[in-house]
Chains A and B, each alone.
Chain A
């Protein structure tokens, strides 16, 4: 008898994974390039924005979140929001103390 478990496994083509890798490497070079030319306070924002875009690719494709239960991705978002909120509140405290 065939084991009954829901098959949630998608086969992600090699090509998709290699494309994502190319995008990630390109984004890395872009962030290195941008931060080497002076952009003042914007540098931090841009570098972190690029890092966020890169992590979205890693989370959704490499870590399969795009193909998994919605519940998992919403939990990941919740954890990220908790960390962001803690950083935000802590900085507010330090800036306006």
Chain B
């Protein structure tokens, strides 16, 4: 047990590395926000009308689910620091559950659109004009990429939970939990911008 403690460990470097990775994620979504602003500028009316078709209620519920899940994973770091393994695991479980609920909402949301023949490449959507095609193209791509990040984050958090369960992560060594938290918060951060841009600004 002591062997692992004596091995050189640099938590600050570990977190810095995670942040560097998050910067590439921010630039990835940043690039998409550039595309969004240009398309919106060029198709203001179509974007305005198309955004009306998204459900503000579902969008708001999903925003709140993600915000709560961000708080629960942040609280699980506090719990592990206070050596409360059970609470830390419970909070991670709640985080995963909220992530799953987010995805379920997304599933029904996308399902409704697809049933109305609104999806990239749909001929019926194409008839509505270039602006609608661009709006929904970006909508599906950006929320889809975001949902993919949710899935990756959930797998990451799942691994961390197993490590906590096996006492590989404890109050003396929890930088991995912190890093998974950082990733999850970034996913939340991206949604904080996706939500007003697609659902609210109509």
Contacts and interface: CB of A to CB of B under 8 A. Distances in A.
Contacts of A80: 26
A32 B200 contact: yes
Nearest to A93: B38
Interface of B is mostly: helix
Interface residues on B, range: 35 or more
Interface in A3-48: 3, 5-6, 8-9, 11-14, 17-18, 20-21, 24-25, 28-29, 31-32, 35-36, 43-44, 47-48
A24 to B, nearest CB: 5
Interface in B59-87: 60, 63-64, 67-68, 70-71, 74-75, 77-78, 81-82
Q: Which secondary structure characterizes the binding site on chain A?
A: helix
Nearest to A13: B78
Nearest to A8: B12
Contacts of A76: 19, 23
Contacts of B38: 90-91, 94
Interface residues of A, number: 51
B56 A64 contact: no
A20 B71 contact: yes
Interface string B115-133: 0000000000000000000
6 contacts: A9-B11, A20-B71, A29-B60, A58-B188, A62-B71, A76-B23
